[in-house]
Chains A and B, each alone.
Chain A
Amino acid sequence: DGGITQSPKYLFRKEGQNVTLSCEQNLNHDAMYWYRQDPGQGLRLIYYSQIVNDFQKGDIAEGYSVSREKKESFPLTVTSAQKNPTAFYLCATGSGITEAFFGQGTRLTVV
């Protein structure tokens, strides 16, 4: 059935390591988004993409990178340049600003 899938659910990163979070959707939506959630801060936009092979920085893009080679996929890489990566990461899809559909999230922890 249609939806948006994030994997893995839990991810552990060592200091200085890059890790990639997966986000796949079969809703045929053009737009995809990555948000970071920290306690008491709501959701902050990291990157977004409106079409394949195009993406834009959000409010907190430093230390992150993305790609959009396929409409269905929008992976997020947390690089070693991100100094405080421990957070809950949410991927979403949408068509314009009508609404966003969210995945179940990935909890990233630095060990």
Chain B
Amino acid sequence: AQSVTQPDIHITVSEGASLELRCNYSYGATPYLFWYVQSPGQGLQLLLKYFSGDTLVQGIKGFEAEFKRSQSSFNLRKPSVHWSDAAEYFCAVGAAGGYNKLIFGAGTRLAVHP
């Protein structure tokens, strides 16, 4: 069965520090992979997505993610975190077959210290 694991429930970084949020997936075929961000009490906004091609994808707000098939990972990175990046981040995998849906990880809550 398809699944997504985000090993870190909470992460705290200092403003200006680099960030890496981990995501591992289980999927039998070539996955469609996504990172979403959610501010408190709001919906989800797409940061970036990977379908095929270059395994390093660029997204909005200075985020990037790298697809590593051998490790079944799709980690999200940012070189320098801003206080406004504090939010919850969700990794998701697109699962086809019968119907199309997104399977989400449990999320990682990011706190940013000034």
Contacts and interface: CB of A to CB of B under 8 A. Distances in A.
A104 B105 CA distance: 19
B12 to A, nearest CB: 17
A97 B101 contact: yes
Looking at chain A's contact residues, is the secondary structure mostly helix, strand, loop, or mixed? strand
Interface string A65-93: 00000000000000000000000101010
A101 B32 CA distance: 15
Contacts of B51: 98
A51 to B, nearest CB: 11
Contacts of B46: 99-101
A97 B42 contact: no
A88 B43 CA distance: 10
Interface residues of A, number: 29
Interface residues of B, number: 25
Interface of A: 6, 31, 33, 35, 40-45, 48, 50, 56, 58, 88, 90, 92, 94, 96-105, 107
23 contacts: A6-B43, A33-B101, A41-B106, A42-B104, A43-B44, A43-B90, A43-B102, A43-B104, A45-B101, A56-B99, A58-B101, A90-B43, A92-B44, A96-B96, A96-B100, A97-B100, A97-B101, A98-B94, A99-B49, A100-B102, A102-B44, A104-B42, A105-B42
